[in-house]
Amino acid sequence: MLRTYRADLHVHTCLSPCGDLEMSPHKIANQAKIKELDILGICDHNSAENTPALMKAAEKFDIRVLPGMEVTSQEEVHILALFDKVEPALALQDIIYAHLPGENDERAFGMQVIVNHRGDVLGFNKRLLIGASTLTLEEVVATIHSLNGLAVASHIDREGFSLIGQLGFIPDHLELDALEISPRMSFSEAQAKFAPHLPVISSSDAHFLNEIGIGTTTFLLQAGTLDEIKMAFLDTGGRKIIH
């Protein structure tokens, strides 16, 4: 039976150097419950190390967590990678780590905190997660698809680190699954500006607890799974984006 699911598919944790240290798994899941969200996409910069903890923390709130990552391409374009299970997200992480130069400077960029589901600190990631990988945009999208993930162009309406902001256009050959807009742009504006390119979703890109749920997408799905969301992107089987 189909029903509506409210999703915020772009949320950072305290692992992202620009993420607030209050963005721990339990607090994120609790805030998502308060905001009446059904699905969360956890997409830290170039890493998925906190996704297992978030998935565990969200269990008691009955919130589905899609493990993901916000990958920065060689062109400094941000691409969301979304998966159904943690294993492919961690496999993508291994690939990105192998193509991610530099070391984090906590004084310049902030701490990159690895935590468990309770928010206990397990360690600190020393890689330059805020930096760009050496993978091209095409290689990033192809790698996500090779792991059966969905590839979504992040905050397409923003200047910084977006596909249009960096390149000035949406390449016809780039096999994206959807485009993401930030809360500052409405769906009607996005459809008028970007249609008929690709499906459009809205997400919060939350770095602070109070930002979770300020941008959401409502889907008509049978279950809160990646396959169902993909069907909604394709507008097939009754699944759809209803905004």
Q: How far apart are CA 216 and CA 214, in angstroms?
A: 6
Tens digits of residue pLDDT in 160-196: 899 999 999 899 899 999 999 999 998 889 888 876 7
The CA distance from 116 to 216, in Å, is 26
Helical residues (DSSP H) of the chain, grouped into ranges: 25-34, 51-58, 86-97, 106-109, 137-146, 163-167, 187-194, 226-234
Rg (CA), the chain: 16
Q: What is the pLDDT of residue 187?
A: 85
- pLDDT value of residue 137: 98
pLDDT digits (tens, 9 = 90+) for 47-91: 999 999 999 999 999 999 999 999 999 999 999 999 999 999 999
Q: How many Å apart are CA 190 and CA 186, to the nearest integer? A: 6
Euclidean distance between CA atoms 33 and 121, whole angstroms = 23
Residue 195 confidence (pLDDT):
67
Per-residue confidence band for 30, with pLDDT thresholds at 50, 70 and 90: very high
pLDDT reported for residue 194: 79
pTM of the predicted structure, to 2 decimals: 0.96
Tell me how far CA of residue 3 lies from CA of 149, 156, 219, 228, 230, in angstroms: 23, 28, 8, 11, 16
pLDDT (tens digit per residue) in 89-148: 999 999 999 999 999 999 999 999 999 999 999 999 999 999 999 999 999 999 999 999
Nearest to 25 by CA among 129, 124, 84, 113: 113
| Pairwise CA distance, residues 191 & 17, whole Å | 32
Domain annotation for the chain: domains and CATH numbers: 3-241 (3.20.20.140)
Which residues, in sequence order, are bridge partners of residue 197? none
pLDDT confidence tier of residue 8, bands split at 50, 70 and 90: very high
Average pLDDT of the chain to the nearest whole number: 96
